[in-house]
Amino acid sequence: MTKSERTDNRKLDELRPVKMKVGVIKRADGSAEVEFGLTTAIAAVYGPRQIHPRHQEKSERGVLRCRYNMLPFSVSDRKRPGYDRRSTELAKVITDALEPALFLEEFPKTVIDIDMEIIQADAGTRAAAINAASLALADAGIPMRDLVCSVASGRANKKILLDMTKEEEDAPDAIDLPIAMMPRTRKITLLQMDGVASHKDIEDTIELAESGCDTLYKMQKKAILKKYGSK
């Protein structure tokens, strides 16, 4: 794709600088940190373990319990501490994005807890959190059908863009379309969209996000190999 018309000089189809690190919370069974430019997410996994409160137990399968939270200093306006409606909704969509990758039927009566904290936020926090959670699950040694990769793409100022910043998302014609995908089977496990768009723009946006997921997949595998050694 073509020359940059973006405020940070990226190409239209270029991700922000991405950093991924596996094993950042030593106390956890698995953990990871993922940065997309000025967006940073940390995920910690505990389990499979006995579920509390016990009434949440499912006799036939395990439960995946996700929590998503933005820290007060993650944005310049200082966010009110704690969970709110947005974080509850994001925890739900992130759970649905990750669950298809897991074999929960193999872990009846247990819970896998994933806590995701957004350290700094400049759009794309759910995507960063999903990538971090997926790496943390792998780090915890939990069997998975595939890693789950996630990125948002969209439209701003009439251009279809990969991995938009908050400034780009605030454009008057913006659409914001986060997806999550299991690249091996190309199954999409999350697809959301804000804004008004033509069929063609939606198709182009999804295609661009899928190519972003392919790039992230390679980075995720590299981050795991970096911790576990084999080159």
Q: Name the residue whose CB lies closest to ligand ADP.
A: 125
State the nearest-atom distance from the C-beta of 54 to ligand ADP, in Å: 33
* C-beta of 48 vs 212, nearer to ligand ADP: 212
Sequence-ordered strand ranges (E) for 158-226: 159-162, 175-182, 187-191
Asked if residue 16 binds ligand ADP (CB under 6 A), the reply is no
Q: Which of residues 107-126 bind ligand ADP (CB under 6 A)?
A: 121-126
Asked if residue 166 binds ligand ADP (CB under 6 A), the reply is yes
Cα–Cα separations (whole angstroms), residue 50 to 62, 111, 155, 156, 221: 10, 6, 44, 46, 30
**The one among 33, 79, 163, 175 contacting ligand ADP by CB under 6 A:** 79
* C-beta of 10 vs 79, nearer to ligand ADP: 79
| Separation of alpha carbons 164 and 156, rounded Å | 9
Closest CA to 187 of 153, 210, 212, 211: 210
Residue owning tokens 């948002």: 152
Asked if residue 85 binds ligand ADP (CB under 6 A), the reply is no
Tokens, residue 85: 């409606």
Asked if residue 11 binds ligand ADP (CB under 6 A), the reply is no
User: Binding string to ligand ADP for residues 125 to 154, with x set by CB under 6 A, is what?
Assistant: xx-------------------------x--
Task: Choose the binding region for ligand ADP from 48-56, 71-79, 106-114, 197-205 (rule: CB under 6 A).
Answer: 71-79
Cα–Cα separations (whole angstroms), residue 225 to 57, 62, 139, 199, 219: 34, 28, 10, 39, 10
* C-beta of 29 vs 169, nearer to ligand ADP: 169
Please say whether the beta carbons of 157 and 195 come within 8 A.
Answer: no
Binding residue count for ligand ADP, defined by CB under 6 A? 14
| Separation of alpha carbons 51 and 219, rounded Å | 33
Residue owning tokens 């596996």: 22
| Separation of alpha carbons 111 and 100, rounded Å | 15
| Separation of alpha carbons 167 and 118, rounded Å | 18
Asked if residue 75 binds ligand ADP (CB under 6 A), the reply is yes
* C-beta of 108 vs 171, nearer to ligand ADP: 171
* C-beta of 124 vs 212, nearer to ligand ADP: 124
Q: What residues line the site for ligand ADP (CB under 6 A)? A: 75, 77, 79, 86, 121-126, 152, 166, 176, 178
